[in-house]
Structure 1
Amino acid sequence: MSKPASTSASYDLHPSVAYVQSILANLEAKTGHSLEAWVARVKAEGPTEAKARLAWLKTQGLGTNQAGFVAQRAAAAPGHAFDDTPEGYLAAAPGYVDAQYGGKKAHLRPLFEQVVALARGLGKEVRVCPCETLVPFYRNHVFAEIRPFVSRLDLGLALGDPATVKDLSGRLKDTGGSKKKDRLTHKLELSSAADLAAALPWLVKAFERDGK
């Protein structure tokens, strides 16, 4: 059976991909060897156990992040698309969403697509960047995210200090993110299209806060 096609058009490049690519681009400049050369070397000369490989790479002059990516690429299962090229991530992104909304969560796919449409409608600078377990929305930073559960979607929102956020309906929940210095501080539980009307003003507020 074929996978369901996304109706939210194409997805956008996750910021983590650019971060990984910048680390890998600096690898050859700083060490004189490319990623592929380091992977071949650690396989030929380094230990086989993951932690020992990481430590060995550090003794060869690689930084913590550089060593981590080389060790991951040298593993039998070489990681996910965040460590790949931009093209690799964009090819993998629809599959992340398909996996999230398969099985018992398949009935939530139309609701997810409606939330994505609302987010896209806030402005052309909105980026929808799927991860393996959730889908964050970015402007300058992440301002919201969607995470599926069996019976609902959780819409996480970056609304700031809970003391300044007033919700007379009682639907908006403080996640404790502000105390933990997380960007996402609140959430709304969505289980039907009727919930979107209540969610939209908070989504707008989170989007506008990220533009300041």
Structure 2
Amino acid sequence: MKIASLTFLFALCLSTVVKAQSTDFKDYKVVYSQGFNKDKSTDDFEFSDASKWLISKNGKPGRSLKCLGAGDYTSAHAGPSIVAVLKNIELKDFVIEMDVVQNGKDFNLLDFCIFFDIVDTSQYCYAQIAGKADKDSHNVFMVNNDKPKRLGKVNGDGVIWRIKDWHQLRIERSTFTKTIKVYFDEELVLDVPDESNNKGLIGFGSTNSAIKIDNLKVSAPAYETISKTIF
């Protein structure tokens, strides 16, 4: 009888855990998706330097959004200088997925940034997925009228960006679990506590890398439509 009771309790706990894991994003719906197959796809975004962004013929598959590298824009607070902001959609909780390829020279620091909680050029957050990890890179950062503030512990290793190879990125932001998780080719590479309850626009970019983006998908339990200019 005691064994049966313990078995039942174990099964109940296991069921609860599985249910929690499988329903984390059950209320999320796709609020935006983009394959960048048309030239006018860029109309959905505002760029820090629009002259550096274009639609490329080589995507995964089909066409993609291409950035030629850093332009004339310089962040006022030493943040990333290559930024594309998705217009009109303000989010708090979200999952962002996309394919990314490094398309330029093999610099010492190859990286990709996913921006969120964007209010203006002086207030935003970003997750940086970088080829090396130290106190200033490969982490989640907040810019609040000052230089970027690291939110997580210093990581031991960055990721391996292979030039010309497509990589799958995914970021999960939950104000319920108070976490920000970033996956690189399905491997969890950043897991950072997030005590904020902010919302804002989202975007992507880099500190210095030439990049391509394809198959962008944004999911969320809710969103607000706003009209504002960042740059």
Length-normalised TM-score, structure 1: 0.26
Length-normalised TM-score, structure 2: 0.24
Higher relative contact order (CA 8 A, sep 6+): 2
The structure that has the greater radius of gyration is 1
Report the structure, 1 or 2, having the larger helix content: 1
